[in-house]
Amino acid sequence: MNQPELTITPSAVVITPGHEVLMEASPYGVDKKKLGMWIFIVSDACTFGAFLFAYGYMRIGTPVWGTPFGFSSIVNGMVMTAVLLSSSLTMLAAVRASQSRAKASANKWLGVTMFLGTVFAALHLREWFKLIGEGWRLFYNPTGGAPQFGATFFSVTGLHLTHVVTGVIALAIIARGYTQGRYDESHVETAGLYWHFVDLVWMFVFPLMYLMNAH
């Protein structure tokens, strides 16, 4: 019996550089780094979701909740939001420059993004130290209300701050590798995806942790 002839259309296969074998193309149309980052983002979104839902659960179940944020803290939070949003735009500029093979420009924008990330972290720590100076601790409320505010605020914002700091370090590594030619534009794009996710999470953390706790 004759075997049916196998036809391979060009759009159905990819040839991986350095591994010249025919592979079936990803149905998602993105490379494996980007798909891996999307899977990480999904798992990380669930982690943040669990933290924020735990905060909501404790907040609903607690009669006297601390509301320590005055207008100056809210303004500080708005500045932090503006800084992080700006860093997302500079990250977009870095990705675009890398896709146009403009290495110097891409590195410049990556540098600006790292700087803005560092400014965000500094503003965040300033807010933390202000709260600590007022007597707020992980398990202590200086106003005498429920002690859980400190635990939820420091854990949620601490997790986000860890992501920002990790992102700045990752961008520094990517920028160095990109300059040396070890990494290409797909690495910059994948790092950008992570950075935008960090920005996305802040869009939920700011209203839920700051605005809902303003007095």
Partner 1 sequence: MSSNRELTMSSYVGIGVGLMLIVGIEVMLTYRHLSPGTLLFSLLSLASLEGFIAIMYLMHVKYERPILFWTIFPATLFVLGFLCYLFPDAFRMYSMRLLK
In whole angstroms, the minimum distance from the beta carbon of 109 to partner 1 comes to: 11
25 binds partner 1 (CB under 8 A): no
> Is the distance from CB of 84 to CB of 185 less than 8 angstroms?
no
Q: Which is nearer to partner 1, 94 or 161 (CB)?
A: 94
Task: Name every residue whose Cβ is closer than 8 Å to that of residue 149 and which is 6 or more positions away in sequence.
Answer: 65, 66, 68, 136, 141, 213
Tokens standing for residue 77: 């939070």
Of 79-87, 125-133, 136-144, 162-170, the segment contacting partner 1 by CB under 8 A is 79-87
Instruction: Provide the mask over 30-49, with x wherever binding to partner 1 is found by CB under 8 A and - wherever it is not.
Output: x-------x---x--xx--x
Interface with partner 1 (CB under 8 A), residue from 66, 68, 76, 93: 93
Q: Which is nearer to partner 1, 108 or 196 (CB)?
A: 196
> Is the distance from CB of 55 to CB of 66 less than 8 angstroms?
no
In whole angstroms, the minimum distance from the beta carbon of 100 to partner 1 comes to: 12
Question: How does DSSP classify residue 30?
Answer: S
Q: Which is nearer to partner 1, 170 or 208 (CB)?
A: 208
Rounded to 10 degrees, what is the CA torsion of 128, 134, 135, 136?
-40
Please report how the helices 185-205 and 71-99 are oriented relative to each other, as an axis angle in degrees rounded to 10: 160
178-197 binders of partner 1 (CB under 8 A): 193, 196-197
81 binds partner 1 (CB under 8 A): yes
Rounded to 10 degrees, what is the CA torsion of 75, 76, 81, 87?
130
143-172 binders of partner 1 (CB under 8 A): none
Cα–Cα separations (whole angstroms), residue 105 to 83, 94, 110, 184, 195:
20, 7, 9, 14, 18
79 binds partner 1 (CB under 8 A): no
Interacting residue ranges for partner 1, rule: CB under 8 A: 27-30, 38, 42, 45-46, 49-50, 53, 56-63, 74, 78, 81-82, 85-86, 88-89, 92-93, 96, 193, 196-197, 199-200, 203-204, 206-208, 211-212, 214
